[in-house]
Amino acid sequence: QKEVEQNSGPLSVPEGAIASLNCTYSDRGSQSFFWYRQYSGKSPELIMSIYSNGDKEDGRFTAQLNKASQYVSLLIRDSQPSDSATYLCAVNRLGYQKVTFGTGTKLQVIP
Amino acid sequence: EADIYQTPRYLVIGTGKKITLECSQTMGHDKMYWYQQDPGMELHLIHYSYGVNSTEKGDLSSESTVSRIRTEHFPLTLESARPSHTSQYLCASSGKRLAGADEQYFGPGTRLTVT
């Protein structure tokens, strides 16, 4: 079992819809959770961090964390074609020196 | 905004040459990382450092070496480039904002092609 698992996609949603991206992790000691966006040919860009159970909202983005079920999700409201990218989930355990990245989910927003 | 720089952005070089990829950050971060990523593929951690004079190998075996003599500088060296080294190399840095937090910020990357 991979430490961080994501569906590779592509996930296709129409413009204006809600895109829901999911990530599961295997290490129950994980404390910090991150979502990165990576456009084709570019480097990853941090868009959300979440550390506590529940929801965290930032503009059109909402991160949701459920430690009991070991999953973290990212919701993108009012999806735009410019949101088309690969979204990477990353997880860190308290005291560990490095994070573990998932393989990413490719999102396509159809105009 | 993250301030992390990589040079060169693109490099085409012949087999057997020695190359150094530069990475610098101005955020005072203790931790720095090198990742390798092929197009459309996942990130692979090849080296990391949690401070000056400390370096560790990552999850992916690599023939490259790194050094960390200054906090802001984390160069990666390939002593003898081979076509199998052709890839995108991404540098990142992080510093604790909260207990347990480790937000990484990435540089623009170096696209290496070995002919």
Tokens of B81: 């480039």
pLDDT of residue B19: 96
Give the residue numbers in B contacting A (CB under 8 Å), as ranges: 31, 33, 39, 42-43, 45, 48, 50, 56, 58, 90, 98-109
Query: Which pLDDT tens digit goes with each residue over B5-45?
Result: 999 999 999 999 999 999 999 988 889 999 999 988 889 99
Phi and psi torsions of A82, nearest 5°: -70, -10
Spell out the residues 6+ positions from residue B106 whose beta carbon is closer than 8 angstroms to its own. A43, A44, A45, B2, B4, B90, B91, B92
Between the CA of residue B31 and those of B34, B44, B94, B105, what are the distances in Å? 11, 17, 5, 11
Report whether pLDDT(B98) > 70.
Answer: no
Computed from CA positions of residues A75, A89, B33, A29, in that sequence, does the dihedral angle turn out positive or negative? positive
In chain B, the residue whose alpha carbon lies closest to the alpha carbon of A50 is B101
pLDDT of residue B78: 94
Tokens of A52: 């506590």
Categorize the per-residue pLDDT at B100 as very low, low, confident or very high, splitting at 50, 70 and 90: very low
Among candidates B48, B99, B106 on the partner chain, residue whose Cβ is nearest the Cβ of A43: B106
Average pLDDT over residues B50-71: 90
Report whether pLDDT(A58) > 50.
Answer: yes
